[in-house]
Structure 1
Amino acid sequence: MSTLGVRACTVFPNPDLEDPDLKDLVLPNISKDTTPKAYDDLVARFPNFKVEKHNCFGFTTVHLAARMGNILLLKHIVEIEGKNLINMGTRYGLTSLLCASLCEDIAAGYLAAKELINLGADVNITTIKSISSDFPSQVTPLWVAAVKTKNLKLIKLLLFNGAILHPQNEIRVDAEKNAALKDDVTDLLTKAKDEIIEVYNRIASTELCLTKCFAIPSDVARQVRDQMLEDYIDNI
């Protein structure tokens, strides 16, 4: 059930059916350096390969490419298989955007997430199962970026695109056991939100000034506003 704009993902068909071929295809061979051509050569070795088939961890090739921050491969798979893959989840509900948010390479994870959002990734799809004791169900990419990878650039990007932390809109960190972590996460989110509010106010003031002070037509002022927003996103 959706709460405050979040949605549980739709998992790939037969999420509990593993493909033994992927033991040799996905885990050893899909990496941050795998090229589209190398991927095509790998897939060609498995005539029955379908992108929705997954390994024992529930990862498909698109999830693993996102997890590795491999943007070229990610785009290649989506171009071949279609954008419907982007918001599909693993057996735990990890979408490609959630996987990108988990990328240990902060810069690569941010760029992969940015590409996925441009392709239509839903920033508020949640996991459906708890992965571990410190990775609960119903968490969003923003939760992962704030709690797991502390990726400030990604936090700002997600917030700018309407992300919320999770259904209860609170930080799922045990306050008693992880007080320092909770403070750290709160600080990250506050910094990101403050910057975005400042940017919105500055851009809104510019639009108002163009129309009121310089008699610029409102449609032109809106174009300037939209361009300023795009420039901000491009330079986060």
Structure 2
Amino acid sequence: MTNKKKANYISCIVAILHAFVSTYIAFIGIFYFCDREGANLFNDQECIRNPKNYHQFAAMITISYLVFDFSLQLFLIRDYSTLSIQTYIHHIFGTLGFYLALIENTVSLTAAIFNQATEISTGFLNLRQLFFFHKMKETVYFRINSYIFAATFILGRMPIQLICTYNVFPWIVEKIQSMGKTDVYYNSMILFMVFSQIVGLILNFYWSNLILAGLVRTIKGDNKTKTLDETDKED
């Protein structure tokens, strides 16, 4: 196995671990750290506007992962396919967005935790890559994983991110309206985080189309054409 393939394999393993750990941590942060009984980040604006130290801890975990994986991809794997370029963009905007949310430490931080909860689908995406690597794409396990990946992305990632955007929209409007009263640095932070959220939504809608196409092929039993698997790990 070449060093590039080893790095790719490590990237998949770490991504799977981060996906499941960060999803669990985000779940706790969403449902168990609001002051009022029955409140959570889905239904309580006061909770959304007052993140706790736990949410800072959760954000730092994902920042660490994104920096690690970006460095691994850029300096060791050095893949410049369309999918990899999209991954670089995702990691850059994700890292800066989470970091600025950590500094701003109000609604932007709880928005970051919402986005962290969407990572569940990433675990199954990277597990899919391991199936390619181990030449298991014709097995029933590959099919099952493909179905779970599509479900967690389309029924999990997309709705959560849309709900997050809807819940933080009043805060975004407030910040934009008050930009004349705040300094340029702070305004730039807010605009970048809003832009990052928009980029994330666009990429996820685009990836949803690829995933649906891949799911149709999987159902038909045709796994030869690549979509999200441009860097096939079976070579």
- TM superposition score normalised by structure 2: 0.31
In terms of fraction of residues, the more helix-rich structure is: 2
* Greater relative contact order structure (CA < 8 Å, 6+ sep): 2
